């Protein structure tokens, strides 16, 4: 018998993911295809979903060895509900930098996911905020209070709206590119120009949905602009300040890689390998130790500025580099100083 025809309308299942294979998709097993597209998904979990009959291609149940082709619509269902049904308040400490009746600014630690999603159904910033504030407004993506976000392994400042009016006002500032956002990043290589601007549309990598990429022709993705300036050159790495005009997913990580300066220890974009330097064993040990000190991409949302939705006053917040990033930078500073003395 061939694969069973079935409409995914079982009330006990929840559709978590739906993908349409791009025009350039070469035939690829559906389990491998989904490994590229679903963050934090394990091969076992995907294969179990296939065994349970919970993977559909073009509304037909398929086995794990089905070859996905260009144009195929792939759906994955699980027995637990998706993140929008799991917005549970949790008593998690928050580092609140500022708060009034309209908004609050938090300093998010690295490792904390901003909102629930696949593989992260608890312990997120949203779970913590819902415990701290009873009624948060919901944005268009059903994410309470969020005006913008930063990646799980990026630390730094976020503004959260406490009212519908504040959310609308703040969202417009981000859309109009009038908000101020400065990030500090440690990148591979010597950034030659003291300052510069990276422009290039950013969209999903069609072959790996977990990555974003630059589309220089502007034929795909959304416009993105990053202004950078060199803070300190440390030999094989450079400390830079990045200011955003737009706020695309992984924008700084993608733009800096695009100009040849991948973020230090950015695993998703290849920065967790030794990209610059010597072949000496001692250097390899040094870099490995630096990776251990900073087990994430070297990126911190340092400064945040915006106009208060009620008072009209310009507000600007600044934050210190977290210990792991500061320690990693100090290690490179010592290395650069020692290298100059040789």
Local structure of residue 25 (DSSP, 8 states):
P
Q: What does pTM read for this prediction?
A: 0.78
* Residue 115 φ then ψ, to 5°: -135, 155
151 noted as active-site residue:
yes
| SS3 (DSSP) at 83 | helix
- 147 closest CA partner among 130, 164, 124, 122: 164
| Catalytic-role residue among 72, 151, 266, 272 | 151
Q: In whole angstroms, how far apart are CA 239 and each of 131, 148, 244, 268, 329?
A: 37, 24, 16, 20, 8
The span from the CA of 179 to the CA of 171, in Å, is 10
The pLDDT score that the predictor gives to residue 78 is 65
The pLDDT score that the predictor gives to residue 245 is 92
The pLDDT score that the predictor gives to residue 206 is 80
Mean pLDDT for all residues in the chain? 88
The span from the CA of 145 to the CA of 216, in Å, is 33
- The low-confidence residues of the chain, meaning pLDDT below 50, are 1-14, 83, 342
Q: Which domains does the chain have, with CATH numbers?
A: 14-78 (3.10.290.10), 86-175 (3.30.2350.10), 180-341 (3.30.2350.10)
The span from the CA of 203 to the CA of 82, in Å, is 24
The pLDDT score that the predictor gives to residue 40 is 65
pLDDT tens-digit profile of 209-221? 678 999 998 888 9
The pLDDT score that the predictor gives to residue 11 is 34
């Amino acid at each position: 018998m061939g694969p069973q025809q079935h409409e995914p309308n079982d009330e006990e299942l929840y559709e978590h993911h739906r993908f349409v294979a791009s025009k350039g998709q070469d035939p690829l097993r559906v389990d491998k295809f989904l490994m590229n597209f679903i963050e934090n998904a394990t091969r076992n979990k995907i294969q179990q979903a296939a065994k349970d009959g919970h993977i559909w291609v073009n509304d037909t149940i398929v086995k794990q060895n089905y070859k996905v082709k260009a144009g195929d619509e792939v759906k994955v269902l699980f027995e637990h509900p998706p993140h929008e049904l799991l917005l549970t308040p949790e008593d998690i400490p928050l580092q609140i930098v500022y708060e009034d009746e309209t908004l609050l600014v938090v300093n998010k630690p690295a490792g904390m996911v901003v909102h629930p999603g696949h593989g992260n159904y608890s312990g997120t910033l949203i779970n913590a905020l819902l415990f701290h504030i009873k009624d948060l407004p919901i944005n268009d993506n059903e994410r309470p209070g969020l005006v913008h976000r930063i990646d799980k392994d990026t630390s730094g400042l976020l503004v959260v709206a406490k009212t519908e009016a504040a959310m609308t006002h703040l969202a417009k500032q981000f859309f109009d590119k009038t908000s101020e956002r400065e990030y500090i990043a440690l990148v591979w290589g010597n950034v030659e120009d003291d300052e510069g601007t990276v422009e290039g549309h950013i969209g999903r990598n069609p072959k790996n949905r977990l990555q974003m990429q630059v589309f220089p022709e502007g034929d795909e993705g959304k416009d993105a602009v990053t202004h950078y300036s060199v803070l300190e050159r440390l030999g094989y790495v450079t400390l830079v300040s990045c200011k955003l005009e737009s706020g695309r997913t992984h924008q700084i990580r993608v733009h800096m890689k695009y100009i040849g300066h991948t973020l230090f220890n950015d695993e998703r974009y290849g920065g967790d390998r030794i990209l610059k330097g010597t072949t000496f064993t001692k250097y390899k040990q040094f870099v490995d130790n630096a990776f251990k000190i900073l087990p994430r991409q070297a990126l911190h949302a340092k400064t945040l500025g915006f106009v208060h939705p009620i008072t009209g006053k310009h507000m600007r917040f600044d934050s210190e580099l977290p210990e792991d990033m500061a320690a990693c930078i100090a290690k490179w500073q010592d290395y650069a100083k020692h290298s100059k003395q040789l």
